[in-house]
Structure 1
Amino acid sequence: MQQKIVLRLLPQEAADDSIIRSYIAQSAAQPVSAITGFYRLKQSIDARSKQVWINLTVQACINEPFIDRPEMPITYKDVSQSKHKVIVIGAGPAGLYAALRLIESGIKPIVLERGKDVRARRRDLAQLNKEGIVNPESNYCFGEGGAGTYSDGKLYTRSNKRGSIDKVLHIFTRFGADDSILYDAHPHIGTNKLPQIITAMREQIVASGGDFHFEQKVDGFTIHNNTITGVTTQQGASFHGDAVILATGHSARDIFELLHRNNILIEAKPFALGVRAEHPQSIIDSAQYHCPIPAFAPKNTIVRPDHLPPASYSLVEQVDGRGVFSFCMCPGGIIAPAATNPKELVVNGWSPSKRNNPTANSGMVVQVEIEDAIKYFKNAKGHSYNSNDPLLMMRFQEDIERKAYQVGGGNFVAPAQRMVDFCNNKIATNLPDCSYVPGVLSSDLRGVLPGFVMRSLQQGFQAFGKKMRGYYTNDAIIVATESRTSSPVRIPRDAETLQHPQISNLYPCAEGAGYAGGIVSAAMDGEKVAAAISVLLTGCL
């Protein structure tokens, strides 16, 4: 007999399979010897009270041979001789999952990636961190796997309308991710493990007969009678296909410019802007797990109970009708430079799989509307603007990033303040240690952030300090600027066909087009678009 059993366990109990087995036996009114095996279905932490609990749901086999978790049946066909070809621009989560889904349907994907493979990409990231030199085509945003590869690998999403979250997670495990992502309430792979998984996905695409081209930056579209038939690249190559999936990510400004120059409809889109806030992980653990930090404890002392992971948080506050919220929170993580152009400063955060760094960081951002950008440029000296420009929000984003670079003094040194000082408009003579490798400079962030963002964050931080003990502290450092939260442009598409309303067979996809946010939702959107193309080309899913 197989039985689903729900348990509420202490953290140390949930870490011991023999104890879990005994609780299963007790719940099923069976001897322990009758429990032939089990696997986890769901696992979450309940830290609402002083005693932290683990909520665990398992599938147990009782008095029958153990049957392990079933694998999701997915077949990748040989598409080397397929009569149908689809160009996939971008090898991030959306592009990779779109390519794999096309292969399931017997369609050959031609994947074009402007950046390098994950191994070569590491050298460019090291140069950015250590020397302050950014390669515009190979950085934290561009290259195999997209921004997600070196940006933590969180797989949590609230979006389940775009497609199957389970399928996305099962595909990750097929290519090397740990099975824990299938049951953990907040699944996470880790930046150190993602590159191998992304490489395995690419190897499957190539083994199935798909084409994969690195360092091919699209610079032109081949369009006849409002139907796209191919693309050209900066490297002089031409590619042709039955459809084109545009999965270029939220930072491909050159693609937005290319669409605009070709009079292909795009729209300005609101996004969120702010900073990265970094605390000692011990402060976050103490607040979330209700465990005090001992007096005179050395900095970075681990205070959380055994068998509990570094704690995370999710915070939101309305300030004068404007949302202020945490974004991409990274327990045991670091802050990284995410710029894609020289003299523009952007930061992001990531965590390794063990989340074992001594600091925790999160984007803390404010929603920015189109009207805010119009007012910003109207009041700025030396700026011309068009309120109807579909690239208005992108221009606003660029301007803030240039200011951050200038205030930091160059070489991607980031302007920063202590949290309480930030809220009181004070500049400290020194700053806490920070995980951001290029370095930080004590600065007045009023020289970077628009006034409405600054004021909203100041009130937000103080409100968060009332919600979360120890959060509002000068031991936390505020680092500017977090500006790549989502795309500043939306590329419209038909709700039914998923094609661009103006250009047939052009499929705007995922985060860069404004239809996803994060690895899982981008992957689901890639699958969704590929499925729509499959129906069009083959008549079946």
Structure 2
Amino acid sequence: MIQEIELKILPADARNEQLIRSKAAGKLKLQDDQIQEVRILRRSIDARGSQPIFLLKVAVYIGESYHGEPAILPQLKSVADRPAVIIVGAGPAGYFAALELIEQGLKPIVLDRGKDVRTRRRDLRAIQQFGQVDPHSNYCFGEGGAGTYSDGKLYTRSHKRGTIDKAMQLLVEHGASAEILIDAHPHIGSNKLPNLVANIRATILHYGGEVHFDHYVTDFILHHQRMIGVVVNDTLEYRGEAVVLATGHSARDIYYLLQRHNITLEAKPFALGVRIEHSQQLIDRIQYNVAARDEHLPAASYKLVTQVAGRGVFSFCMCPGGLVVPAATAPGEIVVNGMSMSRRDSPYANSGTVVAVELEDLAPFQAHGVFAGLEFQRAVEQAMFNFGDGSQKAPTQRLTDFVKGKISSSLPGSSYIPGLISAPLHELLPPSIYERLKLGVSDFGRKMKGYYTEEANVIGTESRTSSPIRIPRNAQTLMHEGVEGLFPSGEGAGYAGGIISAAMDGQNVAKAVTAYIIPHAG
């Protein structure tokens, strides 16, 4: 018999298996030796009371044992001689599509414009230390995609539990801690993700797939409105039974290439704003209601949302114990993002704080048609860069000065390695964005006492929350309705918003590709 119950555990005891077993036995009025196993299904923190506690949902095995879920990887077989599918992009959508294709009996050929995950670090150092942006290898482009060096947060709002479980299990089988399977807000960390990503690549290669770096798609190969391959670096051709586009939210050139071939694109909603950085000690004190965080508690996080003049203002991609990093994908722009290492032990906490962009904001860019949002996004990023000194120093204000609309005479310490430059963000941001952010963060200060402080930095600009473009696809076949054999996937196609949702979309697209190919492949 298996019974599911909930337990409340002090932070210091959250990993004490014997105590958890005893508490489970007491709650079920059993002796300890009547329980074969107690399996934690979900773990979360409740900080609403005088002392933070862990809430555990556990499965108690009485008279039977838990034998575990069967591993996925040992069930795979070589696909070296099977029909090939071209995957453009080695991020979570592309790599998880590749794993699913192998499971389905098809050969993935993954092409990425950037470098492998380890070589990519040199280009990250170049942008951090010297302000040099490689348009093919940066915090957004390269093996693992934007998520590899952007924290590795794994939570998603999707309710498709079965697919989530499979994606999470695959991460564990490639080296992630099994704790991601139980934490309410699972996280891997940018220091551990590179090995995991390299392990996924090794799996793809081991089972007969291909992975190629420094392979920048410069054209598509179409035959009678059917996508049959791509051209790489202007010279190489790769052909397959289908093409999966999993290029991430910042591959602007791919959108223009699609337009050149008269392939339908759509504008989609997105958001833009700033990244706000506080002391982690302050966030801990606010959220846990304690002078100092217990060593057994993780760095505290927050999630804030409000409505200002009919639009949402919300925190996004919160990184407790994290770093603010430069995420530009081309010279001449300033873009910031956040990341954390696995221990989340930085003295700073940061979060994107953004406003939904609406049609009224895009009026000056209407001549760009479907690309109006993209050009609006680019204009803000370039305005931030043009204010500075030609480096990746980010325009910044103290939070209180940001709200008052005045330049800060000095700035608090920051995790942002390229450095900060005091700037009038209230003038650099579009008025409709700034005014709503100003009122929004003021409301956040009322909801979260202590949030509104002069010791917080407002850093510009957080502009890559998602792509302003969608590549439309049929809801059933997941194939572009105007081009046979073209399967848009992940964040760049407009169908995901994070590592896990992109991975899940990659898996679903791979199944759709299989349904399309197998009847024709023989």
TM-score interval (norm. to shorter): over 0.9
Aligned residue number for residue 283 of structure 2: 284
Task: Show the counterpart of 1:525.
Answer: 505
Query: Which residue does 2:249 correspond to in 1?
Result: 250
Aligned residue for 2:512, secondary structure, equals helix
DSSP 3-state at the match of 2:442: helix
SS at structure 2 position matched to 1:401: helix
Query: Residues 153 and 519 of structure 1 are in contact (CA less than 8 Å); yes or no, is this contact kept in structure 2?
Result: yes
In 1, distance between residues paired with 2:231 and 2:69? Answer: 43
Partner Cα separation in structure 2 for residue 26 and residue 89 of structure 1: 54
Equivalent residues of 1:39, 1:69 under 8 A apart:
no
Q: Is the 8 A contact 1:163 1:524 kept in 2?
A: no
Q: Which residue type is aligned with residue 312 of structure 1? A: S
Structure 1 equivalent of residue 439 of structure 2: 459
**Residue 261 of structure 1: how far off its partner (Å):** 1.4
Specify the alignment match of 2:369 in structure 1.
Answer: 389
> Which position in structure 2 is the counterpart of 1:190?
189
Aligned mates of 2:359, 2:477 — CA distance in 1: 28
8 Å contact from structure 2 (residues 473, 480) kept in 1: yes
- Alignment equivalent of 2:352, drawn from 354, 363, 377: 363
Q: Distance in 1 between matches of 2:140 and 2:337?
A: 10
SS of aligned partner of 1:361: strand
When the two structures are aligned, how many residues end up with a matched partner?
A: 519
Contact 2:93 / 2:503 at 8 angstroms: preserved in 1? yes
Cα distance per residue 1:70-104 (max 9 Å; x no partner)? 2454522200011x111000000000000010000
TM-superposition CA deviations, 1:365-409 (whole Å, max 9, x none): 0000233111xx2xxxxxxx4446111111111110001111232
**Match runs of 1:216-295 below 5 Å:** 216-234=215-233, 236-292=235-291
Specify whether residues 48 and 68 from structure 1 end up closer, same or farther in structure 2 by C-alpha distance, changes over 3 A only. farther
Structure 1 position 310 matched with structure 2 position 290: no
Larger mean CA deviation between 517-526 and 17-26 belongs to: 17-26
Residues 219 and 234, structure 2, Cα contact 8 Å, conserved in 1: no
Q: C-alpha displacement at 1:536, in angstroms?
A: 1.8
The 3 A distance-change label for structure 1 pair 38 and 57 is same
1:331 aligns with 2:320: yes
Q: Give the secondary structure class of the aligned counterpart of 2:508.
A: helix
Change in 2 beyond 3 A, CA 1:18/1:408: farther
The Cα shift of 1:279 comes to 0.3
TM-superposed CA distance for 1:269, in Å, is 2.0
Secondary structure, aligned partner of 2:452? coil
Q: How does 1:456-495 map to 2 (within 5 A)?
A: 456-495=436-475
Aligned partner of 1:93 in structure 2 is 92
Determine helix, strand or coil for the equivalent of 2:146.
helix
Residue type at the aligned position of 1:320: A
Deviation at 1:235, TM superposition (A): 5.1
Task: Kindly indicate whether the alpha-carbon contact (under 8 Å) linking 2:218 and 2:234 is maintained by their aligned counterparts in 1.
Answer: no
For 1:423, the equivalent position in structure 2 comes to 403
Instruction: Check if 1:535 corresponds to 2:515.
Output: yes
Q: Secondary structure at the match of 1:521?
A: helix
Asked if 2 retains the 8 angstrom alpha-carbon contact of 1:223 and 1:229, the reply is yes
1:89 and 1:244 in contact (8 A); partners too: yes
- Name the counterpart of 1:201: 200
Query: How far did 1:113 drift?
Result: 0.5
Per the TM alignment, residue 433 of structure 1 is displaced from its structure 2 partner at its CA by 0.3
Q: Among 380, 383, 390, which residue is 1:400 paired with?
A: 380
| Secondary structure in 1 matching 2:118 | helix
The 1-side partners of 2:27 and 2:458 are apart by 49
The one-letter amino acid of 2:439's match is Q
Aligned residue runs from structure 1 range 84-233, under 5 A: 84-161=83-160, 164-233=163-232
In the alignment, residue 332 of structure 2 is paired with which amino acid?
Answer: K
Q: Which amino acid aligns with 1:90?
A: G
For 2:370, what is the secondary structure of its paired residue? coil
Q: Which residue of 2 aligns with 1:78?
A: 78
Contact 1:487 1:512 in 2 (8 A): yes
Determine if contact 1:25/1:35 at 8 Å carries over to the other structure.
yes
The Cα shift of 1:529 comes to 0.6
Matching residue of 1:298: none
Cα distance in structure 2, aligned partners of 1:62 and 1:488:
52
Equivalent position amino acid for 1:317 in 2: T
Q: 1:311 to 1:371 in 2, by over 3 A?
A: same
Pair 1:443-2:438 in alignment: no
Where do 5+ consecutive residues of structure 1 fail to align? 293-302, 378-384
CA deviation digits over 1:171-193, x for unaligned, max 9?
Answer: 10010100111011011011111
Q: CA deviation at 1:35?
A: 3.5
TM-score for the superposition, normalised by structure 2: 0.97
- Output the amino acid matched with 2:111: L
Q: Does 1:350 align with 2:339?
A: yes
Q: CA deviation at 1:162?
A: 9.4
User: What is the alpha-carbon distance in structure 2 between the residues aligned to residue 508 and residue 208 of structure 1?
Assistant: 24
Q: CA offsets per residue over residues 493-512 of structure 1, 9 Å max, x none? A: 11111111111110111100
Q: Given that residues 152 and 190 in structure 1 are in contact (C-alpha distance below 8 angstroms), is that contact kept between their aligned partners in structure 2?
A: yes
SS at match of 2:119: helix
How far is the alpha carbon of 1:270 from its aligned partner?
A: 2.2
Amino acid at match of 2:351: S
Q: CA deviation at 1:427?
A: 1.5
Q: Take 2:511 and 2:6, find their aligned partners in 1: how far apart are those partners?
A: 36
SS in 2 for 1:291: coil
What percent identity do the matched residue pairs reach?
A: 51
Ranges of 4+ aligned residues in structure 1 off by more than 4 Å = none
Contact 1:77–1:208 (CA under 8 A) maintained in structure 2: yes
* Distance in 2 separating the partners of 1:432 and 1:456: 24
Is contact 2:71-2:173 (8 Å) kept?
A: no
What one-letter code is carried by the residue in structure 1 that aligns with 2:296?
H
3-state SS of 2:405 partner: coil
The 5-angstrom pairing of residues 60-79 of structure 1 reads 60-62=60-62, 66-67=65-66, 69-73=68-72, 75-79=75-79
Q: Post-superposition shift, 1:446?
A: 2.4
Partner of 1:296: none
Alignment partners' CA distance in 2, 1:321 and 1:387: 26
Quote how far apart the aligned CAs of 1:51 are: 2.6
Contact kept in structure 2, 1:10 and 1:53, CA below 8 Å: yes
- Determine if contact 1:162/1:528 at 8 Å carries over to the other structure: no
For residue 276 of structure 1, report the CA deviation from its aligned partner: 0.4
SS at match of 1:393: helix
SS at match of 1:220: strand
Secondary structure (helix, strand or coil) at the match of 1:8 reads strand
What corresponds to 1:15 in structure 2? 15
370 and 72 in structure 1: CA distance in 2 versus 1, 3 angstrom threshold: farther
Residue 340 (str. 1) matches residue 326 (str. 2): no
Q: Distance between the aligned counterparts of 2:313 and 2:61, measured in 1?
A: 47
